[in-house]
Structure 1
């Protein structure tokens, strides 16, 4: 079998590679990466590492050639046009390369009325795949829980969660749990009969409920005092990401990031790690 993982040195991609290597021989795994040197540790385990530039279709085709299963993790671009262009190159390459099955990372912010900057891309993914000749599975992630860990000291200093969410709630999944689900779907053809899964923990959190969890983990009181969307964009505009981040919470305030499903249990046979357990295991007091 030939398993291909793209974006294999990114936050999610690298964890998918490690999870997949627990299920199949490393020599069955091929990695498509922008900078092969960053994948040296994987290469030393026996994995094939090939250069991949989503803007150059021939490199994508070369990486995907005759793959039995491809796990596609999009690049970290901030606009839907760039990602759709990239995805079109991946679709065309997958068809030319005779890929057996394509697994695509999705996100719960894919509704037609979602104001998130990247919702157009995530909404495009299932429609474009449905129009292709490919066998595919979409794994829609909830919000990653992981960024809450480095963010906690700032929340302690502010004494408040400041997400502009109103009374709405957010759903989470950890990178490790998401990666484990991607790997399990990749090696389990029976799971391909369902075209889309939504990976979440077993509950979502209003901001007061999230603040209560963070307070317990931090051992200090954290409340909820939301700022405006424009203020949030200004506060977190490093790398020009402010508008994108604010647009995500604009979606959240409309209840569009609150999905909870049992799909993770269907895939893994047990629930995803809860948010309190994840934070307790990863926060150093």
Structure 2
């Protein structure tokens, strides 16, 4: 069996590779990466490591050739056009490289009325796959819980969650839980169903006052909810020109479009995803404290 993972040295990709290595021999894992030097530890474990570029179909074909399962994790880009262009290259390479099944990362912000800057891409993915000749499965992630951990010192200093979410809720999943589900689906024929779309979330979504309460409980610090405006939020977090993308995501959230809760994680893994409180409590203790 040959399982190919692209984006294998990114945050989620790395965890997917580690989760897969617990389920199958490492010699069955084939990694497509942009920078081979970042994957030396994986190569040392017996995994195949190949250089590739999402924007070069010719570089993708030998990486994907004869893969039984191909796990596609999109690159980090801030607009749908770039990601759709990348995905078209991936589809072309997969169709001509005899990929038997493609497992694609999606996101819950894929609704037709969602103002999120990448919503068009995530809405495009299932339609494009349906029009392809590929056997496919999609796993849609909720918001990653992981970025909340390094954000906690700032929230403690502000004493408030400031997301412009009005009275709507957010749904989360940890990257470790997401990766475990990807690995389980990729290696379980009964779960790797053609055309199936899974959605990974924890067992509940959180309004901002409820989120603030969880953060207060974890840190033992008073954290409330005092939202800033959308434009203020975009300006505050525009490092790397990500302000508009992040702001547009919470604009979708304020419409109630990031609050989906699904039992799919439990269907895949046989148990619920780790709760937000337990994840933060476990992870926050491991973080160096700057306050």
Mapping 1:211-230, distance limit 5 Å: 211-230=212-231
Instruction: State the number of aligned residues.
Output: 285
The 4+ residue runs of structure 1 with deviation greater than 4 A are none
> Which digits, 9 at most, give the CA deviation of each residue in 1:161-190, with x for residues without a partner?
000000000000000000000000000111
Q: Which residue of 1 aligns with 2:283?
A: 282
Q: Which residue of 2 aligns with 1:146?
A: 146
SS in 1 for 2:171: strand
Q: Which residue of 1 aligns with 2:205?
A: 204
1:176 and 2:168 aligned: no
Q: Which residue of 2 aligns with 1:25?
A: 25
**TM-score, scaled relative to structure 2:** 0.97
Mapping 1:41-52, distance limit 5 Å: 41-52=41-52
1:160 and 2:160 aligned: yes
SS in 2 for 1:189: coil
Q: Which residue of 1 aligns with 2:108?
A: 108
Q: What is the Cα deviation at residue 88 of structure 1?
A: 0.4
Q: What is the Cα deviation at residue 23 of structure 1?
A: 0.3
Mapping 1:1-285, distance limit 5 Å: 1-193=1-193, 195-284=196-285
Distance (whole Å) between structure 1 residues aligned to residue 47 and residue 229 of structure 2 = 47
Distance (whole Å) between structure 1 residues aligned to residue 192 and residue 28 of structure 2 = 20
Q: CA RMSD in A?
A: 0.7
Q: What is the Cα deviation at residue 195 of structure 1?
A: 1.0
Distance (whole Å) between structure 1 residues aligned to residue 78 and residue 60 of structure 2 = 21
Distance (whole Å) between structure 2 residues aligned to residue 133 and residue 269 of structure 1 = 31
Distance (whole Å) between structure 1 residues aligned to residue 281 and residue 213 of structure 2 = 13
> Which digits, 9 at most, give the CA deviation of each residue in 1:188-230, with x for residues without a partner?
1111226100000000000000000000101011000000000
